[in-house]
Amino acid sequence: MTRSPAARVGAAFERATAERRAALVGYLPAGFPSVDGAIGAATAMARAGADIVEIGLPYSDPLMDGPVIQEAVHRALEGGVHVTDVLRTVEAVTTAGAPALVMTYWNPVDRYGVAAFARDLADAGGCGLITPDLPPDEAGPWLDAATAFGLAPVFLVAPSSSDERIKLITAACGGFVYAASVMGITGARAAVSGAAAGLVERVRQYTKLPVAVGLGVSTGAQAAEVASYADGVIVGSAFVQRLLRASDEDAGRLAVADLAAELAVGVRQAV
């Protein structure tokens, strides 16, 4: 029987659990350093050890993104990236063997048409949508579309979330729960927030879905630390930084693959 898109996300976490490790979830925005360059980097990430890949949909007002991702998104928009390019990137990652989700602010999906976006994402092989600025109690149309097309709706919890909010958010999630380890914008940090472990413990009181921690991880050692208490380790800005620092697209692709390999070792060496 063919798995639904959302079920492919769950299967990736199940494989990681069977191997006694956390899953590695990597993020890159579509269209940077070019559409083809982003596809090359994202597929290299998948082949080098990322279990799940998040593809960012570039947006003109990325309020929750730090300067690294903001810079990459700005360049992607200047390059003329479109939603169709995002979907093409998703399709390439899926072909490379990793479940792919789109991370996006809500406005572009709303403009595109919620049902149409869900349909086209599923047609491209995508598994779901991560919506950092859309709370589940305002997500009725998206939840309906996700159900219709078998997609995973992934929502965020934060250290500031009350138990009541965590219960509400986790009940609406599919695939996994995204636990933001710190308050504020994205970005690699010297140390992962000490609040992350406590947040994971709180979330697990309300759901049996995997809990993946993001915001701040940039090294294999940090990945190992987070993997000791979370089901998944999400890394974004560190990958984007590799592309920003690269001399050309080939060098960027190799740098992304090297970091994915380092992090893949890290999630297997939980401390």
65 belongs to the catalytic site: yes
**Would you tell me how many other CB atoms lie within 10 Å of the CB of residue 59?**
18
Report pLDDT for 193.
Answer: 54
> Which of 65, 85, 120, 231 is the catalytic position?
65
> Which of 54, 120, 225, 231 is the catalytic position?
54
Task: Kindly report the pTM of this predicted structure.
Answer: 0.94
Query: 247: buried, middle or exposed (CB in 10 Å: 19+, 13-18, 0-12)?
Result: exposed
Distance CA 73, CA 261 (A): 24
pLDDT tens for the chain, 271 residues: list them: 467 999 999 999 999 999 999 999 999 999 999 999 999 999 999 999 999 999 999 998 877 788 999 999 999 999 999 999 999 999 999 999 999 999 999 999 999 999 999 999 999 999 999 999 999 999 999 999 999 999 999 999 999 999 999 999 999 999 999 999 764 444 444 445 578 999 999 999 999 999 999 978 999 999 999 999 999 999 999 999 999 999 999 999 999 999 999 999 999 997 6
Dihedrals phi, psi of 69, to nearest 5 degrees: -70, -35
Alpha carbons within 13 angstroms on the beta-carbon side of residue 28 total 38
36 belongs to the catalytic site: no
**Would you tell me how many other CB atoms lie within 10 Å of the CB of residue 110?**
13
Distance CA 66, CA 258 (A): 23
Report pLDDT for 192.
Answer: 57
Q: Which CATH class is domain 5-266?
A: alpha beta
